[in-house]
Amino acid sequence: MNNANTAQAMYALGINQTAQLINTIGQAITVVVQGNMGTGKSSIINIIALMRPTHKPVYLDCTTMVDSADMFMVKYSEDGKTFKTVPLEDLGLHLPDQPVILMLDEIGKCNRSVILACNRIMLERKHSGYELHPDSIVFATTNLGAEGLGDLLPAHTRNRITVVTMRNPDNMEFIEDFGINNNLDPALLGFCKEKPELFHSFEQYENPDENPYIPHPRSNRAAFTTPRSLHRASDILKMRHLLDDTQLTAALIGTIGDRAALDLAAFIALADKLPTRDQIENDPMNAPVPDSPAAVCMVVYRALATIERTWVDPWLTYMNRLSKEAQGLFVNGVRAPQYSRRADATT
């Protein structure tokens, strides 16, 4: 690894750090966030929108722009003697009185003429007589060049922006910052806790066979695990009562790859042994406690994702029967800054 890549790896940011950086300097400087595919780069706009409730989020999918003509149309001026350009609504340039958060998503994959059309917006916040509100924030996302996905920026574009690397979340960040708040399937969250390697970067492995779960430029895996594909797997698991075992496994293989799907299918069997919410709510002293630590984790994650004020007391009674590790897992989940049910859990 060369010195530049080593420095990037040393100073790679988590998703919340990245959002905070953009929120701080994004009015003056366009930050381009590079990172592995499927790691939540596009979700940054939602995090910044929570920090800036007065701003309007504006999303431009650069991969859908064939050329600059998709971003600006020509029309005659009022006198009919000249013409001018009118910007695409998704750029937010038509909102001079409204500060926006403009995200240019996947800018490294778009046509060169689209990048050229974005240059002035990224540097000056204006184009063709239109100008963003001075409080507007502009940032962009792209994949790592080493992934081999064709993400490249011309040198003169690169000189107008600030590029930062966003690292992959680790398994606990995925669970606590995203999975619980988005009600991902407890079996999937338990699986993620047991398999931290699902969230590793290809840059950690010279040989792709060392980690059979993740995408790697030197492998030919058609499906693999990323935070994005794990989210899709959760959607499938929530409908598993409508599928037979073959259908479920086939769908998982096509979503997260064969190795992860087969391991997850074996792990799902634990979910059938979990106590139901009704058992915990109605008889917390006698509701069954699973023997497997992994199954206990699933019970805790399910409680974090679904807890309501009406059954906090029964849950705490039941939780006292669990291991200290499981109790700590619940408390740490409640204390997480992004936890959406804190008001219900901390009565």
The residue among 341 and 240 whose pLDDT is bigger is 240
The DSSP output letter for 255 is H
- pLDDT attached to residue 2: 46
Across 17-43, average pLDDT = 94
Sheet holding 56-61, edge to edge: 56-61, 100-105, 137-143, 31-35, 162-165
Residues 6+ apart with CB under 8 A from 69: none
The SS3 call for residue 266 is: helix
- pLDDT attached to residue 180: 87
- How far is the C-alpha of 180 from the C-alpha of 341, rounded, in Å? 10
pLDDT tens for 282-305 read 999 999 998 888 888 889 988 888
- pLDDT attached to residue 1: 46
pLDDT tens for 251-264 read 999 999 999 999 99
Residues 6+ apart with CB under 8 A from 283: none
Q: What is 3-165's CATH superfamily?
A: P-loop containing nucleotide triphosphate hydrolases (3.40.50.300)
Six token digits for residue 294: 């992994």
Residues 264, 257 contacting (CB under 8 angstroms): no
Give the β-pairing of 83-87 and 72-76: antiparallel
pLDDT tens for 198-219 read 999 998 888 999 999 999 988 9
Is it the case that residue 7 has pLDDT exceeding 80?
no
Q: What is the CA radius of gyration of the chain?
A: 24
Cα–Cα distances in angstroms (integers) from residue 45 to residues 53, 68, 126, in the given order: 12, 23, 20
- 347 pLDDT band, cuts 50/70/90, is low
The residue among 268 and 213 whose pLDDT is bigger is 213
Mean pLDDT taken over the chain:
88
- Extents of the domains making up the chain: 3-165, 171-345
pLDDT tens for 128-175 read 888 999 999 999 999 886 555 545 788 888 888 999 999 999 999 999
The residue among 54 and 95 whose pLDDT is bigger is 54
- pLDDT attached to residue 94: 87
- pLDDT attached to residue 318: 94
pLDDT tens for 110-121 read 888 888 888 988
The residue among 156 and 273 whose pLDDT is bigger is 156
Is it the case that residue 248 has pLDDT exceeding 90?
yes
pLDDT tens for 236-245 read 999 999 999 9
Is it the case that residue 16 has pLDDT exceeding 90?
yes
Model pTM above 0.85 = no
